[in-house]
Chains A and B, each alone.
Chain A
Amino acid sequence: MSKSITSKGITETNPRQLYNALWRLEKVILDSLDFTQVVQKVVDSLLEELEYMKLGYEIIVLALVEEEKHFLKRISISKTSSAEKALKYSPIPFPEIDISLSEERNLCIKALNTGKPYSTEYWPDILTPPFTVDQATNIQSRLGIKNSMVFPIVSKGESLGIIIFSLSKDMKDVSEEEHSLISRFTDVVGLAVQNSRLYSSLEQRTRELGKANKELKQLDSQKDEFISIASHELKTPISIIKTNLWMFKHVSEKDFTEKQNHFITEMDWGILRLSKLVNNLLDISRIQEGRFVLDVATTNIDEVICNSINNFKEASDQKGLKLIPPKTKVGNIIVDKDRLTEVLDNFISNAIKYTEKGGVKVTSHDQKDEVKINITDTGPGIAKEDMGRIFKKFGRAKEGLKRDTVGSSTGLGLYINKRILAEMGGKVGVNSRVGKGSTFWFTIPKKPNIGMLVSKRQNKKNEAIKNAKL
């Protein structure tokens, strides 16, 4: 009862009109990328744009292959009164009319598999299963459908699905023009479906990425909070150990043996290192939470540099290194002295730590509105691949993972320097050649700029908000 529709090709009759019609359909369908919109337009455009209802086109249905589930699934149905009735009479809800791809006798599957269009005057051909023959013939007669055409939707050689056109006229009354148009129309549908599927999966991916990003941000703030709480909690036991160790050394009545002294020194060293690490972590959480405060005052920067250098005299002497202070004077600037000292200490201790021969030189340069300070060492230098890493959190050059005698290394010093200098309105950088040594440099404004004062006020505000929550 069903038969293959043989292509009649583009007829001599009015090819121009055909292309014009096709162009109008394309415009409507390809106008949108949203899958839901596209599939609805596919079934409506022929009726709405070209008024095919007048030609007896009662119902148009789009069904697409569900790859993973191996069936053909109903996707959209035209907004026509016949379609409405069909939905009403159907024993199975429209979205659940699935046809297994193995039902080779079903005309829809046949069109899908062969890539050829078919027509039938007998609805069970296209609806059984899942409908029974009775159900299918019953609905067909109630709707007065005389003929249905099933066209495959093919894109890039792949069968994506089918379109069913159900007509209130016989197959012989389908004109060549209609047939040509529908045949080409299904090609456009193939393209539109594929595009919108790509777009939908892109949208889906974007949504997933957005969600993942949100989760990562949450994790990141939980991590910050954890660091903040953990370092607060660690401070107290550290104080207890340090204070009691000090008492043990200074208040104990007896003299210690050399061995005992060694143990005490080791404990001192360990607790110093722990304390430094926790302080660094606290600094970082302060900066991240906007609780970082600068306490600026007029300060002689030459003295600050000299004091910092003096603090490391013993350490550099021990390693046989020269530690050379700046020869030039800069004078007074307005700065947070303790933070500047912290920055200098971090740079100088790093330089001494990584230098085995030669020395460390500190120079200062008066540059109009800012001061530039260089810390140059004769250490191993930094490999290009490590350059990007060293100013990051816990970033260390590969050589950096060693126990040192100068101070404790947490892998946070340079990161903290960078952040502190950023808060102060300064810049930081490094020039280095492997085997020659490194020069770390930073600049610091002579006066804090307005931006900093604003951000300081903002900090206070943030804190007020924070406290209010607590």
Chain B
Amino acid sequence: MPDKKEYKVLIVEDEDSIRDVYKEYLTGEGFIVEVSSNGEDALEKIKTFDFDAMLLDIMLPKTDGLEVLKRIKSDIHYKDKVVLLLTALGRDSVIKEGFELGADGYLIKDQENPDDVKKNILNALKKVGK
């Protein structure tokens, strides 16, 4: 299939269960997946892992998701990468803040199933022409 390009996805999520499920499903769907459980580790990982898209939880220990987003989008190396925010909260004012910082979209964890997550990643990549 033409869209079977092996996209690289970094999942930044501190909740093991959610992280593992996404990883399992996306790997099964042909993505190359790396994971991170906190903001600092994520910022370290992207130096070596050339990701296409990032799933970024907003509430993270140490450096929170919005801070990670800010640093990525203000860095010339990463600013064109797709970043989808993961939130437990649903529509909230924090999402608006995320968009202002350059997020490409957001996913509400209890409302989107793993397949929705995949579709959202592909849509967002398509939008930026990847």
Contact = CB atoms under 8 A, between A and B. Distances in A.
Interface of A: 232, 235-236, 238-240, 242-244, 246-247, 250-251, 275, 279, 282, 286, 291, 293, 295, 338, 459-460, 463
24 contacts: A235-B88, A235-B90, A235-B109, A236-B18, A236-B88, A238-B110, A239-B18, A240-B17, A243-B18, A244-B17, A246-B113, A247-B25, A275-B110, A275-B111, A279-B90, A282-B89, A282-B90, A291-B93, A293-B92, A293-B96, A295-B91, A338-B91, A460-B93, A463-B93
A251 B109 contact: no
A251 B92 contact: no
A44 to B, nearest CB: 64
B121 to A, nearest CB: 15
Given A247-B25, A250-B115, A251-B28, A239 B93 contact: no
Contacts of A338: 91
B38 to A, nearest CB: 16
B18 A251 contact: no
Contacts of B110: 235, 238-239, 242-243, 275
A272 to B, nearest CB: 10
Interface of B: 15, 17-18, 21-22, 24-25, 28, 88-93, 96, 109-111, 113-115
A244 B92 contact: no
A147 to B, nearest CB: 82
A295 B98 CA distance: 14
B91 A247 contact: no
Contacts of B18: 236, 239-240, 243
Contacts of A460: 93
A242 B109 CA distance: 9
Given A246-B113, A246-B114, A286 B92 contact: yes
Contact of A243 (B21, B28, B91, B92): B21
Most-contacted residue by chain A among B18, B25, B91 (CB, 10 A): B91
B21 A244 contact: yes
Contacts of A246: 113-115
Nearest to B113: A246
B91 A242 contact: no
A419 B92 CA distance: 16
B15 A240 contact: yes
Contacts of B90: 235, 279, 282
Contacts of B115: 246, 250
Given A244-B17, A251-B25, A291 B109 contact: no
Nearest to B15: A236
Given A291-B93, A295-B96, A239 B25 contact: no
Contacts of A291: 92-93
B77 to A, nearest CB: 29
Contacts of B113: 242-243, 246, 250
Nearest to B22: A243
A235 B25 contact: no
Nearest to A293: B93
Nearest to A250: B115
A424 to B, nearest CB: 14
B114 to A, nearest CB: 6
